[in-house]
Structure 1
Amino acid sequence: MHYTFADAQTLARLADDIRKAVSDGFDPDMLAGAPFLDEYALVPQPAAGLTGIVTGHPCIADGRRCFSTQVFHIDTKQGVARTLNRLYRLGRPHGSERN
């Protein structure tokens, strides 16, 4: 049996985005179309993912809690995360709404 969990183009885009993140940071124009994830948290799955209330996702209705694909880069100062499939703009970490 053979399983492919990510195609080469997806992994190439991921590698390019991580290079940008660690060198210059993400371009604001690039982030403008990224879904916004509020009350986000890392989820311990077989691979770490994110969960949060999403706005602007192409497949998930606004205001719904979602679970992302595997996380490869998080920058809380810039408020951005890169998962296997997309960028997310980050809002408040989960639990911060109680403070």
Structure 2
Amino acid sequence: MTDLRDIERLVNSADQWEPPTEAELAAAPLLEGWALIKDADDEDDLPVVMGIITGHPIVPDGTIHFGAECFAMDPDWTWIMTMARLYRLGEPIWANPGEVYGNDD
């Protein structure tokens, strides 16, 4: 399911916060092959980010990781903030990173 309103909401939310510093970004885990996933059954209607993680303090490198619900995102696709932590974004899994996938039941 593609809903660019979700991306617009995340980017607009990012405008309300100070962007992460270079030091914060350098310390953040990296997600490669990432995508935004949306669960139609989620009451908050917020997408989560998933991808192959590197540099997480608990999750082993190379693990497919589902982050917490996202609330802010860099418009240039370099970082995303979830309810739990900041992530650096590498290459997306899809050609168009602005697409949000999930069940549309």
Q: TM-score, normalised by structure 2?
A: 0.66
Letter in 2 for 1:84: M
Deviations 1:15-74 (A, max 9, x none): 9xx5102xxxx2101111100000110011223100100000111100010000000011
- For structure 1, list consecutive stretches of 5 or more residues without a partner in the other structure: 1-14
Aligned to 2:38: 44
Distance across 2 between alignment mates of 1:95 and 1:49:
15
Q: Rate the CA distance shift 1:51–1:78 in 2: closer, same or farther, 3 A.
A: closer
Structure 2 residue aligned with 1:73: 72
User: Which structure is higher in helix share?
Assistant: 1
> Distance in 2 between the 1:76 and 1:32 partners?
18
Aligned to 2:18: 20
Q: Which amino acid aligns with 1:32?
A: A
Greater relative CO (CA pairs within 8 A, separation 6+)? 2
More strand by share: 2
Please give the root-mean-square deviation of Cα atoms over the aligned residues, in Å: 1.8
- Give the direction of change, closer, same or farther, for the CA distance of 1:90–1:31 in structure 2 (3 Å limit): same
- In structure 2, what is the equivalent of residue 29 of structure 1? 23
Q: Is the 8 A contact 1:76 1:90 kept in 2?
A: no
Aligned equivalent of 1:86 = 85
Long gaps (5+) in structure 2: 1-12, 96-105
- Number of positions where the alignment pairs a residue of Structure 1 with one of Structure 2: 76
